[in-house]
Structure 1
Amino acid sequence: MLNNPATKYRQFHPINFPERTWPTKTITHPPIWLSTDLRDGNQALMEPMNGDRKLRMFNLLVNIGCKEIEIAFPSASQTDFDFVRNLIAQQLIPDDVTIQVLTPAREHLIRRTFEALQGAKRAIVHLYNATSPVFRRTVFGLDRLQTINLAIDAAKLFNELAAAQPNTNWQFQYSPETFTATELDFAKEICNAVLEVWQPTPQQKAIINLPATVEVATPNVFADQVEWMHNNLQFRDSLILSVHTHNDRGCAIASAELAQMAGAQRVEGCLFGNGERTGNVDLVTLALNLYTQGIHPGLDFSHINEVASIVEDCTQLPIHPRHPYVGDLVFTAFSGSHQDAIKKGFAAQSTNDFWEIPYLPLDPKDVGRSYESVVRVNSQSGKGGIAFLLEQDYNLVLPRQLQIEFSQIVQRVMDISGKEMSSQDLWQLFEQEYLQPEKPLKYISHQLLQTDDHSQIQRLWVTLQLNEQAIAICGQGNGPIDAFVNALGLNLQIHHYEEHSRNCGSNADAVAYVEIAGNLVQQPLHGIGIHSNIVTASLIAILNAVNRTWKLIDAEAQAKLVQSLAQREAVFTQ
């Protein structure tokens, strides 16, 4: 039994801030992106990345378009220090990419950090110290003034060490760690104190980063905090306001989005949300959320599977199959009603229209995914999903009644196996059921003639294989299908007929679908024929439908069918 939470946990309420404007804002452009995969994300790994994996991750971040990358915590380990030195010494940092490193407000660690950056063309140095009451009281034993002085002394040392390396273009960043649990007036006071030391200008801006180090409230509370700081910080025209949202309450994406509406210009996070506890904000999801709203994020995820593969290899962390936009199953529908809606959506979608496919907010092809995984068939699926796969992968546009008939066949197989059926599995079952039943009848050849110049009546001569014997039959009618039905003499009716080309070009196959009824069958059955000649395809479709009835009738009825066909040949030969 859970304890009474009201007596155990503090509730964070929205601040008294009637001048808030963020609820009426919309995001119109992407933020400045800062990837912290190599620092915050790396710190959260059970086995931190070695130099080779960090370099592979760095190159990936560069390739997708990240212009600011937090590459290390160089004072924390020799591995991180060496990685920074290697990137600089080997000139592996593109000219349009700015590296960032993190340091706490401690003198020897700050000096070690600037040492790592010697020779860098451009660098952001990120200073932080914890500011919330519980950290001031419990962790550091400092009061407000002591906490501010700690940050001021560190900021002054930044100025001194940067002046000693004038060939580097420096930018400074300050984070009041645990900002979300810090009193707003104190957060403003300590940030302004640091800014007074740095004296940023519109030409040389500083960065104030507001981290949801631990997510303690709903996203609207965070948005209020960000907008309040946006309105009250000094040097506002000389600042870049940044956020760094963690996901403890599962709301990091919403918090980052609302924060941008509240005035944040920059977002720090990791690909796929890696980070301490439940992770940092997921830059992939955040970027593609923008993309689905018609705003290009400035990051390239057009080959999302490759990105995911590299990240999984570097971090040794799996990506959940339901992870937004990239999980193996996010573009997949198993539900029959979902599949039917998706199939109809694809049929109605025009090239020049806005993307409007039910259940698919993003076109899988935009991130390099195929449509093969959009619909997958299990015991929960219906006719729409089955028809969609056969159309997408095998160019078969099944008539509605055939969809229903084949879905019942698939369902029987699924009920026995209990397993998912792939597109290839469906095709094999379809072939077996509709395209391979060649007993007792198999098409050999035909000849079609017009009876005279004035009549619409056509005469058809057909050679068939009846069991192991070749027979020849003849019939006439108002077209080849009618003539063939009359030639068979089995009292069949064609309830429905459709045809279409299966592909393009001179070698295209034609597909014919027929639905037959009559004395032979208790309910209508379908037959399908595929051939380069549409008449031949139609004749094969009728034969395959008759052959399917063969499996459903008893031995006496089978004997009568053979006898009837033999008699038709006798009539023809006489």
Structure 2
Amino acid sequence: HIQYQFKKTREEVLAIATEAVKHAAKYTSNVEFSPMDATRSDWNYVAQMVEAVIKAGATTVNIPDTVGYAIPSEFYEFIKFLFNTVPNIDKAIISVHCHNDLGLATANALAAIEAGARQVECTVNGIGERAGNTAMEELVMALKTRGEKFQVYTDINSKQIMSTSKLLTHITGVSVQPNKAIVGANAFAHESGIHQDGVLKNAMTYEIMKPEDVGITRSTLVLGKHSGRHAVIARLNSLGYNLTDEELERFFKLFKVLADKKKQIFDEDLEVLVGEAVYKMKGRYKVTNVQISTGMYSPPMTLVTVKDRYNDGAETFDVAHGNGGVDAGINAVKKITGTKAKIESFNLVAITGGSDALCEVTVTVVEEVNGRQLKVFGNGVNIDISVAGILSFVDALNKLEYIKQRNHIGEKIEAKL
């Protein structure tokens, strides 16, 4: 990096680093410095850099494995080397930032903690650039499950892990693989007969941690159209959701619509409805009606009605054909809005089992505006797969409109509330 990317000498980079830290320290008492690609660099030079930036005022020094190259034993030795070599290292918190290119991010972070690091930069679900970063949930539960090994403490409430994981999935549209440690759908599933037998007799035989420890609750309470408001709120609270009165009003509107169509409503349904009620942005467009006509021998046709919040809430409907109800509906939305946006990816997942399951569709949408490519994701939830697909596309259009308005890209239109 020094030679090819920055075209500087080691001395020049050292001077730039210390000056940057000194400048930052003028504005805050908490300055973090991170030497890029530290694990592939000369250890002695990294030690020299760490000593210099701490002296300049850095209160946290983060050692990154920028391209996920390190292995645990090597990373342990590297961190130990810094502790044994840098004379003023006790004046700063040593942090690590591990990437998962070799699938070793969490293992490397744990090795660093063993070596003396006291901060780890991690992400929920391990989400991040390329193969991702150290997964927060894996790190927290490793420290909790193997506390006697590490003798360190974190005050993260592990019972919020599952709801946080699902919230991030809903917001980003990035799904969690079923066999993902801690938060995957199969993380606490036991298929083998001998394993099932052991768990039934004593869960500790094959479960090194309890599902409840990460916020997975087991309930026999069945919710439906006749469930009282109090029972539903109690279930939301047990899942870790404490909604405001305004949020509850939006939630119960969605709950009533779903309950009229679906016999039983499960925890997974509730969590998706919370995402829709609390975190879905109020955008320019709102779908108010969808009618689909299709069959084995007739061309699919969809009618869509859209309300435009930037045009005094005027409703416009149009009809279009396509390769299926979703495609026809999206073509109708394009005719109504005039958008040139294109769908890059389309993914759907059934939230629960059964043919009446709530379906969540996530789309990635791109649009070229003034020579700049904008990319967003949208998601839509409905019992009808086609409707969910159309809603996801409109959700993406709303995000595109927001980005264009915020960054003054293209024609500016004042919102009429």
TM-score by length of 1: 0.36
TM-score (norm 2): 0.49
Rg (Cα) greater in structure:
1
Larger RCO (CA within 8 A; separation ≥ 6): 1
